[in-house]
């Protein structure tokens, strides 16, 4: 069972090296299918070039500094092609680490999706939209102004919060650590 995302999401497939210019780095639109996998309908062939590196950037929308932007490295990219030639109808990017967010996809039946892809001449995007598996605006991907805002918000999110705890005596650090770490036995039974 998949858990739906509690917030609206967009996924930008970004070429590495463009972290400070995500408009220039944007290569494709992805769909978080589950916390481990991004579906990329009709991916550009450049994604399959092993000499280049890409990341899936999961962007909560509307964009706020409190909602974490995730940059995921891929572990495996699977091309889904029809026959032996032609471009990929889809790619599945397995993430190196899972996302904190749930799926962007509504539930669907394989037979209905298959029939709808056929009826739409192999257009996976149109099939996903017509069955309301994704809302139509997702195909548009992140707008340029949203991508331009990413570097500043990501910089803010990388700044860790500092909190101080004041103890009465040095030995109290043991109880404080025991409340944090599961490997500690507090001795309180």
Q: What b-and-e string marks burial along 99-108, b requiring 16 or more CB atoms within 10 Å of the CB?
A: bebbbbbeee
Count Cβ atoms below 10 Å from residue 30 Cβ, excluding itself: 29
Domains in the chain, start-ordered, CATH in brackets?
8-160 (2.40.10.10)
- Stretch 136-162: mean pLDDT, rounded? 90
Confidence of residue 184 (pLDDT cuts 50, 70, 90): confident
Residue linked to tokens 């009709």: 42
pLDDT of residue 175: 86
Count Cβ atoms below 10 Å from residue 186 Cβ, excluding itself: 9
pLDDT of residue 86: 82
The answer to whether residues 88 and 43 touch, using CB atoms and an 8 Å cutoff, is yes
Please give the C-alpha separations between residue 42 and each of 4, 36, 70, 137, 169, in angstroms, as whole numbers. 23, 20, 23, 16, 62
pLDDT beyond 80 at 36: yes
Confidence of residue 189 (pLDDT cuts 50, 70, 90): low
Alpha helices in the chain (DSSP H): 22-25, 110-119, 124-130, 144-158, 172-180
Nearest Cα neighbor of 31 from 92, 109, 110, 79 is 92
Rounded-to-integer distance, Cα 19 and Cα 154, Å: 10
Rounded-to-integer distance, Cα 30 and Cα 20, Å: 20
For 93-118, what is each residue's pLDDT tens digit?
999 999 999 999 999 999 999 999 99
Confidence of residue 126 (pLDDT cuts 50, 70, 90): very high
Task: Specify the pTM.
Answer: 0.85
Rounded-to-integer distance, Cα 103 and Cα 116, Å: 21
For 50-97, what is each residue's pLDDT tens digit?
999 999 999 999 888 888 999 999 999 999 999 887 889 999 999 999
Tokens of 17: 């090296």
pLDDT beyond 60 at 153: yes
């Amino acid at each position: 069972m998949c858990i739906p995302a509690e917030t609206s999401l967009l996924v930008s497939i970004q070429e590495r090296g463009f972290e400070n210019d995500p408009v220039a780095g944007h290569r494709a639109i992805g769909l978080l299918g589950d916390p481990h996998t991004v579906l990329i309908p009709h991916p550009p062939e450049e994604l399959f070039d092993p000499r280049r590196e890409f990341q899936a950037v999961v962007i909560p929308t509307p964009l706020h500094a409190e909602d974490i932007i995730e940059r995921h490295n891929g572990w495996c990219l699977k091309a889904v092609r029809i026959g032996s030639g032609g471009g990929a109808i889809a790619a599945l990017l397995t993430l190196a680490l899972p996302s904190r967010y749930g799926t962007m996809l509504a539930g669907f039946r394989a037979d209905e999706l298959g029939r709808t892809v056929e009826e739409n001449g192999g257009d996976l995007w149109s099939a996903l939209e017509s069955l309301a598996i994704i809302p139509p605006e997702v195909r548009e991907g992140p707008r340029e102004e949203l991508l331009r805002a990413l570097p500043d918000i990501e910089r803010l999110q990388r700044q860790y919060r500092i909190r101080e705890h004041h103890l009465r005596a040095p030995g109290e650090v043991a109880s404080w650590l025991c409340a944090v770490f599961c490997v500690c036995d507090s001795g309180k039974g």
